[in-house]
Chain A
Amino acid sequence: MTSTTESSNGLFGRIEPFIGILGPLVMIAMIALFMGIVEPARYFRVSNINQILLDAALYMPMAMAMTFVITQRGIDLSIGSIAALSAIIMAFLIKQYDVPAGIAVIICLLLGAAMGLLNGLVITVFRVPDLIGTLAMDLVYRGFALVLAKGLVLARFPDLITEIGRGQVFLFLPTPVVIGLLTLVAGYALLKFSHFGRYTIAIGSNPEASAMTGISVNRHRIYAYVLMGAMAALGGLMLTGKLNAVQATSAPYFNLHVIAAVVVGGTSLFGGRASILGSLAGVLLLSMMINALVTLRIEFFWQSVASGVVIILSVAIYTWMQKKDRDGSAGLGSLLANPDFRKIAVLTAGLMAALIVLVVLGLLLASPPV
């Protein structure tokens, strides 16, 4: 059969499926190159690379679970609060009720899963749109955390907790990195070889058709939120161990950071397209970027500006690529001839220029070295 795909078999056509992973890799290379020129000594120190990995490891389990949620066309804006609340309860169990650390850790993960279940039920049974539902549940969980902990900072935990957060038992790799990578491997296996993974893509791709083939759409959506909740709790646990302290306002940036990492990695916000490997690349990219900002002594708050711009840029680029898919137009070549594309190109250039201006501003306004 002749097919429209044949015409897109140029170089770009062959590369295209890998763009999800290539995009962040190119950006990682660019950051590495830039830092290699500007600050090679401090950026590429072993201790700094260790720092980047430690930071990235915190987000790996959550990015894995968020990949499933987003692939199903969902979103979870409550993971920061789930992380904080489950870590606070775990901290209280350990500090106040002398629960053994191992049991407290398991309870922490189960609590996260239960909060995820609640999110899933709110979205599927009460039919509250995921955006509003999880945003509201974020307030609920954060509120509970504040009620429980008041202004307390709970600190100094048993070795098991700090080992999970910043240990180094596995030769050169920190323990949290090993945990993070293991969750990603498990996520990859889940996506490729389990019914849940297959149905996650099907539901994101075509919910009506999935329901017609007899897939229980709501049940698998709930599964994704339960997984998300458990991984958010793991994130909270790792953060607690890393800092050896936890408070009600911990983990405020989890939501957008994790969503940014997943979206940058090529998982589509419009559903159906999942990339666990891309999520790993996205997590590494964001950690490298934030570390670069710190190394360049750009003020901490610019991180938030950078994360936001990265989300907008990557969603815009992937949306444009998907639109191209639907148009059925072939390679990049035919697109350059498309007048619509020029408008987008101008917009992209504008955004890039704005980003550069922001970075320059940040450099100029940066506080002097301490």
Chain B
Amino acid sequence: MTDTTPIIQMHGITKRFGGVTALRDVDLSAYAGEVLSIVGDNGAGKSTLIKVLTGVYQPTQGRITFEGQPLVMASHADAIQNGIDAVYQNLALADHLTPAENLFLGSELTTKVMGIPVLANARMKAEATRVLHDRLGVTLKSMDAATESLSGGQRQAVAIARAVRHDDLRVLVMDEPTAALGPQETARTLKLIQVLKEQGLAVIVISHALDDVFEISDRIHVMRRGECAGVVTTAETTSEEVLGLITGAHKAA
């Protein structure tokens, strides 16, 4: 299931904001073709952790390696360039644009007409349809409707497609992917995560929903008070044990 070398690895990451230590000496590794869940209480450091992982924050101490090579990211754009992207809880879509326009927002395809760059709308639409269908198995009823008219799950598919559109994407971080979805849409999103995993991505999911976590993840990384409270293999654990790690009632072996 997993390779022996992790795609991305964090070594002893500490992040301080002034006097507050948000992360203390955290290690994390994610493998290709694996779903790693990060769970923890509010304020346990999950968000800070993924922001460091996706280049939004720079660690105070510690280092990150990408396929064994040291990786320093100055910004989120750096992370994307290195094949790491994130899908945020609010999805960060422009609701009045079509799915294709959202997929290519900020990096539009153009053709030159008399030396002037002109948006290649038809090409972007075809490409977006292909990415949604081939990579995610999603076919939207209309590619011309505004994104706001789509269901929550479809909107999420668009947000994921925007990340996987880059062929060199290796690590996808998803923040609370099922938090805003109904049961049917949740099931679809979990299936989508499964698909991405089978395509060899390292998928890192932050979630509060333990049921979902147990259904999709291979390993569970528990955060507590800015530290790693333990990493467990999903097949070898119970929700009681994970809950214990989250609350601190149970110490990792």
Q: Is the CB of B101 within 8 A of A273?
A: no
C-alpha gap A196/B108 in the complex (Å): 11
Interface size bracket, A side: 20 to 34
Pick the residue among B105, B140, B148, B150 that contacts A202 (CB under 8 A). Answer: B105
Q: Is the CB of A193 within 8 A of B121?
A: yes
Q: Which of B108, B149, B188 has the most CB of A within 10 A?
A: B149
- Check if A337 is an interface residue, CB within 8 A of chain B: no
**Neighbouring B residues of A1 by C-beta, 8 Å:** 138-141, 151, 153-154, 188
- The interface bits of chain B over 142-158 (1 if a CB of A lies within 8 angstroms of the residue's CB, else 0) are 00010011110110000
B183 in the interface, Cβ–Cβ < 8 Å? Answer: no
Segment at the B interface, from A52-60, A96-104, A162-170, A210-218: A210-218
Q: Check B97 against A201 for contact (C-beta < 8 Å).
A: yes
B149 and A5 contacting across the interface, CB-CB below 8 Å: yes
B87-108: CB near A (< 8 Å → 1, else 0) gives 0001111111100010001111
Are B76 and A212 touching (Cβ within 8 A)? Answer: yes
How distant is A189 from chain B, measured CB to nearest CB, in Å?
A: 9
Q: Does A47 contact B (CB under 8 A)?
A: no
* Contact present for B95 and A272 (CB under 8 Å): yes
Q: Does A204 contact B (CB under 8 A)?
A: yes
Complex Cα gap A213–B94 (Å)? 10
CA–CA, A193 to B153, complex, Å?
29
Dominant secondary structure of chain A at its interface with chain B: helix
Q: Is A319 an interface residue (CB 8 A)?
A: no
Kindly state whether residue A206 has any CB partner on chain B within 8 Å: yes
Shortest A13–chain B CB gap in Å is: 10
Nearest Cβ in chain A — how far from B209, in angstroms? 21
A-B residue pair count with CB separations less than 8 angstroms: 81
What per-residue 1/0 map shows which CB atoms of B44-69 lie under 8 Å from chain A?
A: 00000000000000000000000000
Q: Are B154 and A205 in contact (CB under 8 A)?
A: no
Query: Known contacts being A3-B150, A5-B145, A214-B77, is A201 close to B94, with CB within 8 Å?
Result: yes
B118: interface (CB < 8 Å): yes
Min CB gap B139→A, angstroms: 8
* Distance in Å: Cβ of A198 to nearest Cβ of chain B: 6
Decide if B179 is an interface residue (CB 8 Å cutoff).
Answer: no
CB <8 Å contact, A193 and B95: no
Q: Mark A74-98, 1 if CB is under 8 A from B, else 0.
A: 0000000000000000000000000
B162 to chain A, nearest CB (A): 8
Q: CA–CA, A202 to B100, complex, Å?
A: 13
| A328, B141: Cα distance in complex, Å | 18
Task: Classify the secondary structure of B's interface with A.
Answer: loop
Residue in A closest to B150 when the chains form the complex, CB atoms: A3
**Known A-B contacts A1-B151, A1-B188, A212-B92; A198 and B97 likewise in contact (beta carbons under 8 Å):** yes
Interface string of A18-59 (1 = CB under 8 A from B): 000000000000000000000000000000000000000000
- Considering only CB atoms, which chain A residue lies closest to B56 in the complex? A212
| With A5-B145, A5-B150: A192-B95 Cβ-Cβ less than 8 Å | no
The yes or no answer to A299 lying at the interface (CB within 8 A) is no
Q: Which residue of A lies closest to B92 (CB)?
A: A209
Chain A residue nearest to B147 in the complex (CB): A205
Q: Which residues of A contact B107 (CB under 8 A)?
A: 213-214
**Which residues of chain A have a CB within 8 Å of any CB of chain B?**
1-6, 192-195, 198, 201-202, 204-206, 208-210, 212-215, 271-273, 325
18 interchain pairs, CB-CB under 8 A: A1-B188, A2-B151, A3-B141, A4-B151, A194-B118, A194-B119, A195-B108, A201-B96, A206-B92, A206-B93, A206-B94, A209-B91, A209-B94, A210-B106, A213-B92, A213-B107, A214-B106, A272-B95
> 7 closest A-B pairs (Cβ-Cβ)?
A213-B106, A272-B96, A209-B92, A205-B94, A205-B96, A202-B94, A214-B106
- Tell me the B residues contacting A by CB distance below 8 Å: 76-77, 90-97, 101, 105-108, 110, 117-119, 121, 138-141, 145, 148-151, 153-154, 184, 188
Q: A6-B141, A206-B95 are in contact. List 20 more A-B contacts (CB 8 A).
A: A1-B141, A3-B150, A4-B151, A5-B141, A5-B145, A5-B151, A193-B119, A195-B117, A195-B119, A198-B105, A198-B108, A201-B96, A204-B96, A206-B92, A206-B93, A208-B92, A209-B91, A209-B94, A210-B105, A213-B105
